[in-house]
Amino acid sequence: MNGTVASVNRSATHTLIKPSQDRVRLLEGLGVEGDAHAGRTVRHRSRVSQDPNQPNLRQVHLIHAELYDALKDTGFDVVHGQMGENITTRGIDLLGLPTGARLHMKDAVVEVTGLRNPCGQLNKVQPGLLDAVLDQDEDGNLLRKAGIMGVVTSGGEVAPGDPVVVELPPGPHHALEPV
């Protein structure tokens, strides 16, 4: 289950949309250099207001490019970075990864911490986008499709076209939960 980096994105301010970059540098224990969400403790405003000393389990946000493909097929006009991700991948079932999986991108490594919990800001990008990235399974459980979150365990540069190698943790595996 290996893939490639489709795009890399960053924003120095707390905006949902992150402009595409030629490359980004991941900093061990911090996140994406120059991104508003980088740091050892939480940087997302809602979490800072709850407890600013919480560890930042959301240093890097990743979305699979296949989600953008599916959204376009249903009439949405969105491009990489518009849903706030730092890294867009192709060819990896990000949502199917277990907690603790490691994504190797050359020298950089991101350890998966959980699912992204999408919010209403997505509807500012395009009306109805939030509902489009949520679903329900056959038992009525909420399914979040807007990507995963991780922490940087090894720093390095990441650019579009770089290979992504998935390393699964030792079993038993635990399904991703929102972080």
* 174 belongs to a structural domain: no
Average pLDDT, the chain: 96
Q: Do 94 and 64 touch, CB atoms closer than 8 A?
A: yes
Q: Kindly state the tokens that stand for 146.
A: 């807007």
* 175 belongs to a structural domain: no
* 38 belongs to a structural domain: yes
- Phi, psi of 10, rounded to the nearest 5 degrees: -160, 155
Q: What is the CA radius of gyration of the chain?
A: 15
Q: Kindly state the tokens that stand for 18.
A: 């992150």
The span from the CA of 43 to the CA of 34, in Å, is 13
* 178 belongs to a structural domain: no
What CATH number did the domain enclosing 22 receive?
2.40.33.20
Render each residue's pLDDT in the chain as its tens digit; 179 residues.
Answer: 799 999 999 999 999 999 999 999 999 999 999 999 999 999 877 777 888 899 999 999 999 999 999 999 999 999 999 999 999 999 999 999 999 999 999 999 999 999 999 999 999 999 999 999 999 999 999 999 999 999 999 999 999 999 999 999 999 999 999 99
Task: Encode pLDDT of 110-153 as tens digits.
Answer: 999 999 999 999 999 999 999 999 999 999 999 999 999 999 99
Residue 100 has a pLDDT of 98
* 48 belongs to a structural domain: yes
* 129 belongs to a structural domain: yes
Tally of structural domains, the chain: 1
Write down the pTM of the prediction.
Answer: 0.96
Q: Do 38 and 30 touch, CB atoms closer than 8 A?
A: yes
For residue 71, the SS3 value is: helix
The domain in which residue 18 lies consists of 3-94+106-162
Residue 47 has a pLDDT of 79
Residue 50 has a pLDDT of 86
End-to-end CA separation in angstroms for the chain: 23
Instruction: Provide the pairing of β-strand 163-167 with 3-9.
Output: antiparallel
* 100 belongs to a structural domain: no
Classify residue 122 as exposed, middle or buried by CB count within 10 Å of its CB (0-12, 13-18, 19+). buried
Residue 162 has, within 13 A of its CA and on its CB side, a CA count of: 25
Residue 45 has a pLDDT of 74
* 10 belongs to a structural domain: yes
Classify residue 29 as exposed, middle or buried by CB count within 10 Å of its CB (0-12, 13-18, 19+). middle
